[in-house]
Structure 1
Amino acid sequence: MAAEPLSNGAAHQSVPGRYILPVHKRPSYSANGKVAPPMLPVVDLGGDDDGRIAEEIIRAGREFGFFQVVNHGVPEEVMGAMMRAAEEFFGLPANEKMAYYSTDGKQLPRFHTSVRNGAGEEFLYWRDCLKLGCHPPEWPDNPRGLGAALEPYTAAVMAAARRVLRLTAIGLGLEEGHFDGSLSGSGLMNVNHYPPCPDPSLTLGAGPHCDPGLVTVLMENVGGGLQMLLHGDGDAGGGGVMWVDVDAAPGALVLNFGHQMEVVSNGRLRSAEHRVVTSARGARTSLATFVWPEPGCTVAPAQELVLAAGEGPLYKPHSYGEFLGAYLAEGGVKEAAMAHLKH
């Protein structure tokens, strides 16, 4: 279904029909429970006490799958330049943005408006997106400053992600370099733009999903919008599940684990289910950098974890490229995607 990107014209006075979700998929249709919304865990990557930092990452990954990092090594000026360049792209005249428009999911860079197919339903989410390559960085020629901002930002964010992956390996009791090489050798950036929505009760910026890869690093210009599905079965106490806002401190980066981390950890760490709600107040732009295995990489539970616990592997070895195809076909729905991985 082709559609004109939301950022191409004047502000909408009502939600067009193709963006109105079925009633059972709207934001008001939400899991509810007795869990008090928690503070998003803060992990300070500064200092040299790797054991302590690793424990904090594992605790956050076990309970939530989400956490924020400070002292992450991405300079404030690098973050600011990247966000300004991203916002400038979505402010370009429509004809200049449409030079990069494509429905080919393999094309990079690629500008598109989001669409989700599933269960016989076809509708649009309230989001425009610019997809950029990270290995090596790939960007549009316009705006001019995007490439100059993207290269240092990508390098710094990937360095932070690799540090988190090394610390995660330590926390799991694996070799520090377990996630090095092809297991984390690929990446992609989604520059997401959510224009003001005239009726946020009717649509979502992104539907409930888990990310397919290892870890995602997020920077946003305006807080509010991202929500995680909180399970009340951990140390947070309570029962049931509910959607809660993911709010980060100024200058922090938000990280969440994806399906491949749940597989490698044999279920010890949680692939975090999340969604994006819209706002009538103003636009929101976010940059999500995904760290993925290379397509031909075989992913499986770490043998050290399976043997140490005396338990069988919960997930079967799989090609990441094949899983990604199944994941996209399932629309990112967690249960359906994970069914392709479980024994």
Structure 2
Amino acid sequence: MVKFIFSQMANLLSSGIIANREIPKKYVVPPGKRHAQAGFIEIPIIDLQDQKNSTQNILKASQDLGLFQVINHGIPSKLMNDAMKVFKEVFDLPPEERSKINMKEDLNQVCRIYTSSYNYDSEEFHFWRDVLRHTCNPLVECIKFWPQKPENYREIVGEYVVALKDMGKKILEQITQGLGLEKGYFASELTEDNILTINHYPICPDPSVTIGLPRHKDPTLINIVQAAPVNVPGLQLFKDGQWFGFETAPNAFLVFVGNQLEVVSNGKMKAVVHRVVTNASKARTTAVFFMSPTMDCIVEPAKAIVEAQDCGPLYKAFRYKEYFDIHTGHDGDRDTILESYNFKIKQSSIP
């Protein structure tokens, strides 16, 4: 495992492995999986202080797109800017400093930096990204293993994580109300696994043959994303058979519906298919806060929703670790994994 971790560190795109503006062969994506021309779509902006309308607006956006953005969320713009500043600085650290981040041998170590994905050694092609991954729960224990440089990193990112978790709880409580579930439904093992991932997408000499992340749905309950500035595009969503790019409002966070929320809502809320394309002129750095079930949590449609729909559960119950292992071990597009848990899709596929 140590060899695996350090081989990925040596190949960090941000370490300057690109020579003569040539794309390393392993990063060239097969023609059928390269990104095509995309249209443009507007993502709903939801004011979290507008308590009269925000709940219904969140539900509508989650049903229509599986994605919305929030403003007036309570996180100061200074904290957002400070966090993004230190995230970018980590990828500029000298190799000897970055190597200190990867000091534990297990795959689920508290904090590590790597390139592409977990499946680096076996994947068909590499993704054009470097990753800094933090385990965040319990914060008081995890923060001791986070980077010590740049200065004040742990202080800034610790405050950032607490603020993101509080905002996520507020959003999920509004979703609870909108779905007609009992108060505190998601204040349980459904949300107790928190990961903060920083995705860094360096400038790419030829975006036409690379991909930052391929099409997928997220394996989580929800993701909260602080995206790159509006003048550095990259995120795209898939809707009605077409890819669309979009912009993020100033000081807004994007909220992605994940597969587990689609299951719990018995299909009322839809996980969004999305991807990340590369950029020839500017690097992009995004922060993603994952709110997920614990590995031993049993995920299933909420009984109150099933009874109200009077159509039976669409998904079978499963242990989250079972699903997560399939997701992380899958070398390819990850937008259809949930179908194997859907009763109707499985039945319709039987000859």
Give the TM-score normalised by structure 2: 0.88
Aligned residue in 2 for 1:89: 90
Contact 2:214 2:276 (C-alpha < 8 Å) held by counterparts: yes
Contact 2:216 2:335 (C-alpha < 8 Å) held by counterparts: no
Aligned residue in 2 for 1:25: 33
3-state SS of paired residue (1:244): strand
- Is structure 2 residue 239 aligned with structure 1 residue 230? yes
Aligned residue in 2 for 1:305: 305
Distance 1:332 1:341, change over 3 A: farther
3-state SS of paired residue (1:181): coil
Aligned residue in 1 for 2:188: 181
The structure carrying a bigger strand percent of its residues is 1
Contact 2:67 2:257 (C-alpha < 8 Å) held by counterparts: yes
3-state SS of paired residue (1:262): helix
Could you give the per-residue CA deviations for residues 205-240 of structure 1, whole angstroms, max 9, x where no partner exists? 111111101100001233310111123xxxxxxxxx
Task: State percent identity of aligned pairs.
Answer: 34
Contact 2:218 2:259 (C-alpha < 8 Å) held by counterparts: yes
Cα distance, 1:247 vs structure 2:
1.3
- Is structure 2 residue 288 aligned with structure 1 residue 324? no
Cα distance, 1:143 vs structure 2:
2.0
3-state SS of paired residue (2:236): strand
Contact 1:83 1:221 (C-alpha < 8 Å) held by counterparts: no
- Is structure 2 residue 246 aligned with structure 1 residue 285? no
Aligned residue in 2 for 1:76: 77
In the alignment, the residues of structure 2 paired with residue 158 and residue 16 of structure 1 have an alpha-carbon distance, to the nearest angstrom, of 38
Cα distance, 1:117 vs structure 2:
5.4
Distance 1:127 1:335, change over 3 A: closer
Aligned residue in 2 for 1:38: 41
Q: 1:144 aligns with which of 141, 151, 169?
A: 151
3-state SS of paired residue (2:41): coil
Contact 1:135 1:187 (C-alpha < 8 Å) held by counterparts: yes
Cα distance, 1:104 vs structure 2:
4.9
In the alignment, the residues of structure 1 paired with residue 311 and residue 41 of structure 2 have an alpha-carbon distance, to the nearest angstrom, of 32
1:94-133 matches, cutoff 5 A: 94-101=95-102, 104-115=106-117, 122-133=124-135
Please identify, of 76-85 and 9-18, the stretch whose mean Cα deviation from structure 2 is larger.
Answer: 9-18
Aligned residue in 2 for 1:236: none
Q: How many residues align?
A: 326
**What letter matches 1:109 in structure 2?**
C
Please identify, of 333-342 and 210-219, the stretch whose mean Cα deviation from structure 2 is larger.
Answer: 333-342
In the alignment, the residues of structure 1 paired with residue 90 and residue 117 of structure 2 have an alpha-carbon distance, to the nearest angstrom, of 20
In the alignment, the residues of structure 1 paired with residue 95 and residue 330 of structure 2 have an alpha-carbon distance, to the nearest angstrom, of 31
In the alignment, the residues of structure 1 paired with residue 213 and residue 335 of structure 2 have an alpha-carbon distance, to the nearest angstrom, of 17
Contact 2:223 2:258 (C-alpha < 8 Å) held by counterparts: yes
Distance 1:258 1:201, change over 3 A: same
Contact 2:222 2:258 (C-alpha < 8 Å) held by counterparts: yes
Cα distance, 1:45 vs structure 2:
0.1
Aligned residue in 1 for 2:24: 16
Contact 1:115 1:122 (C-alpha < 8 Å) held by counterparts: no
1:43-82 matches, cutoff 5 A: 43-49=46-52, 52-82=53-83
Could you give the per-residue CA deviations for residues 256-296 of structure 1, whole angstroms, max 9, x where no partner exists? 01000000011111111110000011111000000001111
In the alignment, the residues of structure 1 paired with residue 190 and residue 123 of structure 2 have an alpha-carbon distance, to the nearest angstrom, of 34
**What letter matches 1:67 in structure 2?**
F
Distance 1:268 1:48, change over 3 A: closer
**Superposed CA RMSD:** 2.1
Distance 1:251 1:180, change over 3 A: same
In the alignment, the residues of structure 2 paired with residue 247 and residue 309 of structure 1 have an alpha-carbon distance, to the nearest angstrom, of 35
Could you give the per-residue CA deviations for residues 100-159 of structure 1, whole angstroms, max 9, x where no partner exists? 2488531120100014759x8621110000001121333122223210111111111111
In the alignment, the residues of structure 2 paired with residue 147 and residue 133 of structure 1 have an alpha-carbon distance, to the nearest angstrom, of 13
**What letter matches 2:199 in structure 1?**
N
Q: Which runs of 5 or more structure 2 residues have no equivalent in the other structure?
A: 344-351
**What letter matches 1:185 in structure 2?**
E
Distance 1:299 1:242, change over 3 A: same
Q: 2:173 aligns with which of 155, 166, 174?
A: 166
- Is structure 2 residue 206 aligned with structure 1 residue 203? no
**What letter matches 1:17 in structure 2?**
K
**What letter matches 1:96 in structure 2?**
E
